[in-house]
Copies of this chain bind each other. A is one copy, B any other.
Amino acid sequence: MAQFTHLDDQNQPGMVDISTKSATQRTATAQAIVRVNESVAAAFQDGEIQSKKGPVFHTAVLGGTMAAKKTPDLIPLCHGLHLEDCDFEIQLDGQEIVITCTTVTTGKTGVEMEAMVGASQAALTIYDMCKSMDKGIVIQEVKLLKKTGGKSDFIAS
């Protein structure tokens, strides 16, 4: 039967005790999709060789990376850990900007939340930079694609 790992038997929220777990390498990949209007999509494909995509996507990577490092400050019951890698891919596919964020650590707990926060905040950074052109932007499909290490691996179906 389903149980909330962050609630004790009196339903009080709390951190999960990981002190007896062993430190192993763990990775996670998460995705976020930013759906923009035609005007914004066109602005990213403006024919200039130094494309607009450059600085906007760079800002998103940096916003996402810095937020991923801050995950334990953002998710109340998340453990602290040191990211050993935080890698972003951002592709423009028609009106969809597809962001993936892969995180790696060696430790007693997984890096799913770091990947999820990284992808979400990269998406929100793009939202911020495009919102004056399109207030109808939607961030959709923020989800975990894959994790390895820890009790079991996972690949999104």
- Name the residue of chain B whose CB is nearest to the CB of A89: B12
Docked Cα-Cα span, A91 to B144, in Å, equals 23
Evaluate contact between A58 and B12: CB separation under 8 angstroms. Answer: yes
Chain B residues with CB below 8 A from A5, complex form: 129, 132
CB distance from A16 to the nearest CB of B (A): 8
With a cutoff of 8 Å between Cβ atoms, the chain B residues found around residue A124 in the complex are: 74-75, 113, 116-117, 120
Closest to A116 in B: B124
Residues on A close to B: CB < 8 A? 2-7, 11-19, 25, 39-40, 42-43, 49-52, 54-59, 61-63, 65-67, 69-70, 72-88, 90, 104-108, 112-113, 116-117, 120-121, 123-125, 127-133, 135-144, 147, 154, 156-157
Residue of B14, B104, B112 near A87 (CB, 8 A) is B14
CB <8 Å contact, B80 and A82? yes
Contact across chains for A77 and B128 when beta carbons are under 8 A apart: yes
Do A56 and B2 touch across chains, with their CB atoms under 8 A apart?
no
Instruction: For residue A98, give the distance in angstroms from its CB to the closest CB of chain B.
Output: 14
A126 vs B109: C-alpha distance when bound (angstroms): 18
Q: How far is the CA of A2 from the CA of B90 in the complex (A)?
A: 21
Q: Quick check: B143 and A142 within 8 Å, CB to CB?
A: no
**Besides the known contacts A11-B50, A138-B143, A139-B141, 16 further A-B residue pairs in the complex with CB atoms under 8 A apart:** A2-B40, A6-B128, A7-B55, A11-B52, A12-B90, A49-B50, A50-B50, A54-B58, A69-B72, A69-B73, A74-B124, A75-B121, A75-B125, A78-B128, A135-B154, A136-B157
